[in-house]
Amino acid sequence: MNPDYDKYRPHLVRVSEGVEPPHWFAKLLALIFLGLCLMLGVVGLILPILPGIVFFGFAALLAAWLFPPLHRVLRRQPSLSPYLESTAGFARLHWRRQARVLGWLAIKMLLDSFRLTVDAIARLIRFATRPAP
């Protein structure tokens, strides 16, 4: 085997996947937004006005972008996989399209979290109203 292959393998893998390594400043901004989303998610759990699940969703997407092993783990989750698919190639979009994608993702996450909340409440009601054995 060619000894240079192992040396350049990470670069070759990124080229074959069409993914460029993020610039250090982009990683720094993503880490800052990740922390901000996590804080807003925690605040959203306390305050009923702020949808915390949406911010946790954005934090998961950012963390998946920053940490490829986490991306592989989250890709196996049926509830998060569609969001990861919809953000594939996000970094190559123009900033206006990125803003549009983020807006639609926020709306979808908000509606999905509402649906999950209603389903959970319905399960609790069914559990509470079932006859005792």
Average pLDDT over residues 76-103: 80
Separation CA 91–CA 21 (nearest Å): 11
Which residues fall within 8 angstroms of residue 81, CB to CB, at 6 or more apart?
74, 75
Q: Which domain holds residue 122?
A: 3-129
More confident residue, 108 or 17: 108
Separation CA 89–CA 95 (nearest Å): 13
Tell me the pLDDT band of 3, cut-offs 50, 70 and 90. Answer: low
Separation CA 107–CA 126 (nearest Å): 29
HEC string of 47-90 equals CCCCCHHHHHHHHHHHHHHHCHHHHHHHHCCCCCHHHHHHCCCH
Tell me the pLDDT band of 111, cut-offs 50, 70 and 90. Answer: confident
Average pLDDT over residues 107-129: 85
Tell me the pLDDT band of 14, cut-offs 50, 70 and 90. Answer: very low
Residue 13 is predicted with a pLDDT of 45
Residue 15 is predicted with a pLDDT of 41
Would you tell me the crossing angle of helices 52-66 and 95-129 to the nearest 10 degrees? Answer: 120
Q: Domains in the chain: how many in total? A: 1
Average pLDDT of the residues of the chain: 77
Residue 8 is predicted with a pLDDT of 52
Q: Is the pTM of this model over 0.75?
A: no
Identify the residue whose tokens are 């934090």.
59
| 1 SS3 class | coil
* CA end-to-end span of the chain: 68
Contact between 69 and 44 under an 8 Å Cβ cutoff? The reply is no
pLDDT > 60? residue 133: yes
pLDDT > 50? residue 12: no
pLDDT > 50? residue 78: yes
More confident residue, 133 or 32: 32
